């Protein structure tokens, strides 16, 4: 069985976690701030707030930007549901911007058209969430310029993209956004088992997100609304959650960070080999913009269905029958029943829907062996050439 993605765990990772297990602090100890520092140093951002998932990071990021009832959040339909759900947690409304058929990211032209209409109707978004799909950065310069013109905030969903570059700078430096969010789920670029992080250069947002991850409770006198009553004292000054990352998770994440550049390089190596080996098959291989260096979380092929004697579903199931655990990223969010109940319908975002009807994510992870890759290619060749 070859999965589409898989974590890579070394003896060093295991030792880092065991060291925490035998230390005084399983949670709220030194490993979390250390992991945050590792990520900040890599990204060249000012502040980081580690939490228990990217979903939690998206939620507290939206709250820090004061997204609430009556506000709109826009994202792409080609994403995991969490990029949209975060708005609903805050009582805000969600809308989508269709994708660019070449990058599968939010299309900046479609975004601008939608903004022009929204301005006329008085329903401009408060927050836009571009998702760096498969690790390839969105056109952030254009999206940022639009944010200045139309007055919205930007949260980058970089769940796929830690270790990638945009205009030769690390994704996560927040040069073109307010906050960037990473996921450390095991299928992503680096893992902390479960975990996520929000990075920002805005001190107020960082303070607010740190408060919200732990019940809205502070022990910092400057954040309190009345004087300390003693050394036992803390104040709840906001309504927060328990979204804390444990030290076990942070130790694993921190240990993985040391291999981030190796992982991304290895993913590029595998992707390049796929590009070469799949060149003559009736598939579209991932197009890469010169503005970015992808973290290559996913390698997605699009089937040229009019040149193939099988349906998309048949190819997908045949690969799985061959123990190649391909996947499909993503079912357009607006076609999910929960979103259809909100009024979205098939046909709303045709590029994302067309993409969904042709896309397959094939195995890509650092430990993928050449023989395994050759088996994937041979299986695809057999299925697509008859």
Ligand X SMILES: *Cc1c(COP(=O)(O)O)cnc(C)c1O
Per-residue binding letters, 102-131, with ligand X (x by CB under 6 A): -----------------------------x
C-beta of residue 128 within 8 angstroms of C-beta of residue 73: yes
Region for residue 331 given its phi and psi (left: phi exceeds 0; alpha: psi -120 to 50; beta: otherwise): beta
Closest CA to 173 of 149, 208, 202, 147: 202
The reply to whether 249 sits near ligand X by the rule CB under 6 A is no
Question: Quick one: how far is CA 350 from the chain centroid?
Answer: 22
The reply to whether 196 sits near ligand X by the rule CB under 6 A is yes
Q: How many residues bind ligand X (CB under 6 A)?
A: 14
Distance CA 42, CA 163 (A): 8
Instruction: Indicate the length of the chain as a whole number.
Output: 386
**Residue (43 or 281) nearer to ligand X, CB:** 43
User: What CA–CA distances, in Å, run from 25 to 22, 50, 195, 201, 251?
Assistant: 8, 16, 18, 29, 11
Nearest distance in Å: CB 155, ligand X: 11
User: Among 98, 157, 247, 353, which residue interacts with ligand X (rule: CB under 6 A)?
Assistant: 157
Structure-token match 């890599």, residue found: 42
Closest CA to 36 of 169, 209, 153: 209
Nearest distance in Å: CB 331, ligand X: 13
Region for residue 347 given its phi and psi (left: phi exceeds 0; alpha: psi -120 to 50; beta: otherwise): left
**Residue (185 or 244) nearer to ligand X, CB:** 185
Nearest distance in Å: CB 80, ligand X: 4
**Residue (160 or 302) nearer to ligand X, CB:** 160
Nearest distance in Å: CB 181, ligand X: 7
Nearest distance in Å: CB 105, ligand X: 11
Nearest distance in Å: CB 194, ligand X: 6
Per-residue binding letters, 80-99, with ligand X (x by CB under 6 A): x-xx----------------
**Residue (185 or 208) nearer to ligand X, CB:** 185
What count of other Cβ atoms lies within 10 Å of the Cβ of residue 97?
27
User: Among 79, 134, 294, 327, which residue interacts with ligand X (rule: CB under 6 A)?
Assistant: 79
Nearest distance in Å: CB 199, ligand X: 15
The helix or strand, by DSSP H or E, that contains position 31, with its residue range, turns out to be helix 31-43
Nearest distance in Å: CB 60, ligand X: 12
Distance CA 281, CA 145 (A): 39
**Residue (7 or 218) nearer to ligand X, CB:** 7
**Residue (185 or 213) nearer to ligand X, CB:** 185
Closest CA to 270 of 260, 262, 281: 262
Nearest distance in Å: CB 16, ligand X: 20
- Site residues for ligand X, window 45-74 (CB under 6 A)? 53-55
- Site residues for ligand X, window 172-191 (CB under 6 A)? 183, 185
Nearest distance in Å: CB 83, ligand X: 5
Question: Quick one: how far is CA 289 from the chain centroid?
Answer: 18
Closest CA to 58 of 226, 183, 214, 175: 183
Cross-strand bridge partners of residue 299:
362
**Residue (79 or 218) nearer to ligand X, CB:** 79
- Site residues for ligand X, window 126-155 (CB under 6 A)? 131
**Residue (82 or 248) nearer to ligand X, CB:** 82
**Residue (183 or 214) nearer to ligand X, CB:** 183
Torsion from C-alpha of 204, 210, 214, 218, nearest 10 degrees: -60
Binding window for ligand X (CB under 6 A); candidates: 76-84, 98-106, 120-128, 305-313: 76-84
Cross-strand bridge partners of residue 134:
none
- Residues lying near ligand X in the complex (CB under 6 A) are found at 53-55, 79-80, 82-83, 131, 157, 159-160, 183, 185, 196
């Amino acid at each position: 069985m070859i999965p589409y993605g898989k974590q890579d765990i070394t003896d060093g990772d295991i030792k880092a976690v065991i060291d925490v297990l035998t230390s005084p602090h399983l949670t709220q100890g030194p490993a979390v701030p250390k992991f945050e520092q590792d990520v900040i140093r890599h990204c060249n951002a000012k502040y980081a707030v580690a939490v228990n998932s990217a979903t939690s990071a998206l939620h507290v990021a939206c709250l820090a930007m004061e997204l609430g009832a009556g506000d709109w959040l826009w994202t792409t339909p080609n994403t995991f549901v969490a990029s949209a759900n975060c708005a609903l947690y805050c009582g805000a409304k969600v809308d989508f911007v269709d994708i660019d058929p070449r990058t599968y990211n939010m299309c900046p032209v479609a975004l601008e058209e939608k903004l022009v209409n929204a301005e006329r109707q008085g329903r401009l978004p408060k927050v836009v969430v571009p998702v760096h799909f498969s690790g390839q950065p969105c056109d952030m310069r254009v999206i940022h310029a639009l944010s200045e013109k139309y007055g919205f905030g930007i949260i980058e969903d970089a769940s796929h993209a830690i270790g990638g570059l945009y205009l030769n700078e690390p994704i996560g430096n927040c040069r073109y956004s307010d906050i960037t969010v990473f996921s450390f789920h095991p299928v992503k670029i680096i893992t902390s088992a479960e975990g996520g992080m929000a990075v920002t250069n805005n001190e107020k947002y960082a303070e607010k997100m740190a408060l919200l991850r732990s019940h809205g409770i502070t022990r910092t006198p400057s954040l309190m609304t009345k004087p300390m009553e003693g050394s036992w004292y803390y104040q709840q000054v906001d309504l927060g959650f328990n979204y804390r990352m444990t030290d076990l998770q942070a130790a694993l994440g921190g240990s993985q960070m040391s291999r981030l550049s190796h992982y991304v390089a290895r993913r590029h190596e595998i992707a390049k080999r796929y590009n070469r080996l799949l060149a003559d098959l009736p598939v579209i291989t991932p197009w890469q913009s010169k503005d970015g260096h992808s973290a290559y979380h996913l390698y997605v092929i699009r089937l040229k269905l009019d040149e193939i004697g099988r349906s998309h579903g048949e190819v997908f199931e045949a690969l799985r029958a061959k123990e190649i655990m391909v996947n499909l990223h993503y079912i357009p969010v607006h076609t999910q029943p929960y979103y259809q109940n909100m009024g979205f319908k098939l046909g709303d975002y045709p590029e994302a829907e067309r993409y969904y009807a042709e896309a397959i994510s094939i195995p890509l992870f650092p430990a993928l062996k050449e023989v395994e890759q050759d088996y994937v290619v041979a299986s695809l060749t057999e299925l697509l050439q008859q």
